[in-house]
Amino acid sequence: MATQALRLRPKVKNVVWGGDWLLTALGRTPEAPGPVGESWEAWSGSELLNGPDAGATLGDLFAAGRRDLFGPTVDRYPRFPLLVKFIDARENLSVQVHPTDALAMELERHPFGKTEFWYIVAAEPGAEILYGLADRELTAEALADAVAGNDAASVCSRVPVRAGDVVDIPAGTVHALTAGVVVYELQQDSDITYRLYDWGRVGREIHIEKGLACIDPARKGLRVGRPEPQGDGPLRRAPLPSSHVFGSELLEVAGAVDLAPAADGFALLSVVDGSGGLDGEPLAMGDTALLPPGHVAHLEPGPAGLRLVRGWAL
């Protein structure tokens, strides 16, 4: 078994709706001029920064069947299954929907759909998201008319959010991250997104046919929560959304603690507030590490405390 937490090299992405929060708050380095909207912290293309396999990618190591790094997860999935991001929405993202596993295979020949959740890291006063269909009686024909008429936002619910909220987004849910919100996102390792409406931007494709095929009419109503960590001692925790692919929890560290493994496979550990230390090494806001099977992580909070999300494959 691997005996150390493995650090990962982030990859930032320029997008039209991004800002500079990822650069100023997380210290990420842009690859090109322009707004930065996403920092991919862990996915199949992530390079290890330490350990004997430094320089190798998670995808290659997973394909090699490295049970010392991933445990029995390598037997359950055809490729590395999870993706962790931080997203800065300086402007509205498109109104969009993601496919289920079955539809991802049918439409794109990709083994994973895209079920995800957001932990709201920061939000400007009055910030909101679009989530689900507002009208429970909306017919498929009326929905198709709204999408075809470039008016998909009008049929969505608007939900206020603030830092510390959690939004569960199963595949098939119409949604949009909107201006002034920064999120941590845990999702399946898939980048399949079907845009239904893009706020008048020119030059980006709208996916009406595929998007309509993926919308689950049952995905209506609020699925926003606010986890409050519970427990005595230096470690408090709260459950976060789970799916058929991942489990997750919020950890609040108030003193030095040894964190026992969450599952028989690997876990991804990300700082969503504060800073501290992991196994004697500095741990900054936004840092993500892979914890191999059986690894007991030693955590220490900094002066401002330490909040982390731990996610693992099921």
- Catalytic residue positions, numbered: 195
Q: Within the chain, where are the H helices? A: 21-24, 58-63, 67-70, 73-76, 101-108, 140-148, 208-214
Strand partners, 297: 259
Contact 89, 178 (CB under 8 A): yes
- Main-chain phi, psi angles of 233, to 5 degrees: 90, -165
Distances (CA, A) of 213 to 100, 144, 217: 10, 10, 11
**For the chain, how big is the Rg over CA atoms in Å?**
19
Residue 100: closest CA among 111, 110, 114: 114
CA–centroid distance for 45 within its chain:
15
Token pair of 11 as six digits: 């990859």
- The alpha carbon torsion through 167, 236, 308, 260 (nearest 10 deg) reads -120
| CB 285, CB 4: distance < 8 Å | no
Structure tokens at 140: 């498929």
SS3 212: helix
